[in-house]
Amino acid sequence: MIPRHFYHRFNELLSSFPIVTILGPRQCGKTNFIKKALPSWHYLDLEKPSDWNYITQDPEQAFKDLKSGFILDEAQSAPKIFSVLRSHVDENRKARGQVVLLGSASPQLIRHASETLAGRTGFLDMTPFQWQEISKIKKTSLDSLWLRGGFPDAYLAVSDRRRLDWFEAYTRTFIERDLFSLGMKLSPPMMRKLMHMLANYNGGIWNASQIASSLGTSYHTINNYTDILEQTYLIRKLQPYYSNIGKRLIKSPKLYFRDTGLLHFFLGVNSSLSLMRSPVRGSSWESFIIEQLLSLLAVRYPGTQSYYWRTSSGEETDLLIDFKGKLIPFEVKLHTAPQRSDLHGLYSCMHDLKLPNGYVIYPGEKDCPIGEGVKALSAARLLNSDFKLN
């Protein structure tokens, strides 16, 4: 069992709210996490018919029987219980840590929790494995996590063939079946085509009209579909940063796959050799580092905002973190020895926004200054350290 780094944040929420809602993509390890974190709590899986029947036939009586200290997995499967659950925790509103909800189909669960349980639940977003969690495993490397992605079954697969088999099964069960029930009304072949197109869009400026024309639908529909993919933690739309600096800035988001194992599956990148030779290697690395860093910051610094910065003339910085009103720019490079000449966009961003410091995240082993307030940070060291935003 690989220890997850969410325990501290989870315990903070458990001591602050009557209910804690844990969200994340299917198969990211939510169930294993909660069973280890709360081994004595009563666990019910609402995708299991007997548990679903027990809770939904008479939820008021079921909650009275359970009292406190119970877990409802896949809670979005029973939306009618939320109003009863609200009344149940309100009977002893000051008591913290009464119930934990788990869910994968986050659009439904967030809507029910936000509307019915407002002020009563804290939210924790779980992700697949992070480098900080697996870095101590023997014979592991950051490159391995980058290639395989962080879904536990995919990362721990004994061979590339087993890993690809797992992603094939994941695609058929969740992407082709479950997303249909959430409003993505595409046939399995068209769903795969959409995912392939989005994979080739990874790291690019989002343009729904281009995707829509290829699929023979409207850009409104494509935007709706990608909203669902974002809400179910498969993709991330990184929003642009706006500022009144006298330059025209790009105002469309950038699209990233949140797990590079899934990205590589749809791109046909099946091995370390094919990744090394792939023309999308740079955008994949950018996607990997941004997701790893943002997932880490979400746990350490809840509420931190993230953006990218790009002018209409092409000057760009990959990531701009807003921490308590302080902007911190990051550039992601695959070069083993980044030079000033590679960082025109970063320096331009620092100059225009009057930022004293900037960082380059690269695959080297050492942190080193580059000059003019810019420092190169080793990706492996950064993502496995107590890097502080200050």
- The secondary structure of 240-258 as a DSSP string is BP---SSS-B--SPEEEES
Cα(167)–Cα(151) distance, integer angstroms: 9
Cα(44)–Cα(53) distance, integer angstroms: 11
Using a 10 angstrom Cβ sphere, with 0-12 exposed, 13-18 middle and 19 or more buried, the burial of residue 268 is: exposed
DSSP string, 200-232: HHTTEEP-HHHHHHHHTS-HHHHHHHHHHHHHT
pLDDT value at residue 247: 61
Q: Check: CB of residue 330 under 8 Å from CB of residue 319.
A: yes
Of the CA atoms within 13 Å of residue 273, those in its CB half-sphere come to: 1
Of the CA atoms within 13 Å of residue 15, those in its CB half-sphere come to: 6
Which CATH number is 296-382 given?
A: 3.40.1350
| Amino acid residing at 262 | L
Among 48, 47, 37, which Cα is nearest to 1's?
37
Q: Check: CB of residue 335 under 8 Å from CB of residue 342.
A: yes
pLDDT value at residue 109: 75
Q: Is the dihedral of CA 177, 178, 179, 181 positive or negative?
A: positive
Q: 312 in helix, strand or coil?
A: coil
The secondary structure element, H or E, covering residue 124 is: strand 121-125
pLDDT value at residue 174: 83
Helices (H) and strands (E) in the chain, counts: 19, 14
Q: 146 in helix, strand or coil?
A: helix
Which CATH number is 131-283 given?
A: 1.10.10
| CATH architecture under which domain 7-125 falls | 3-Layer(aba) Sandwich (3.40)
pLDDT value at residue 374: 96
Q: 187 in helix, strand or coil?
A: coil
Q: What is the pLDDT of residues 125-167, one digit of tens each?
A: 999 999 999 998 877 899 999 999 999 999 999 999 999 999 9
* Residues carrying CATH 3.40.50.300, the chain: 7-125
Written as six digits, the tokens of 276 are 């090394």
Cα–Cα distance list, 259 to 147, 167, 245, 371, 383 (Å): 10, 11, 34, 33, 16
Q: Check: CB of residue 113 under 8 Å from CB of residue 20.
A: no
Q: Check: CB of residue 344 under 8 Å from CB of residue 315.
A: yes
pLDDT value at residue 390: 63
Chain Cα centroid distance, residue 380: 19
pLDDT value at residue 241: 92
* Residues carrying CATH 1.10.10, the chain: 131-283
* Residues carrying CATH 3.40.1350, the chain: 296-382
Give 323's strand partners: 326
Cα–Cα distance list, 231 to 13, 103, 142, 380 (Å): 21, 12, 27, 28
pLDDT value at residue 359: 96
Q: Check: CB of residue 363 under 8 Å from CB of residue 390.
A: no
Cα(24)–Cα(156) distance, integer angstroms: 19
Q: Which residue has the tokens 């002893």?
A: 92
Of the CA atoms within 13 Å of residue 250, those in its CB half-sphere come to: 22
pLDDT value at residue 106: 65
Q: Which residues of the chain have pLDDT under 50?
A: none
Cα(105)–Cα(129) distance, integer angstroms: 19
pLDDT value at residue 248: 61
Q: Which residue has the tokens 């967030």?
A: 110
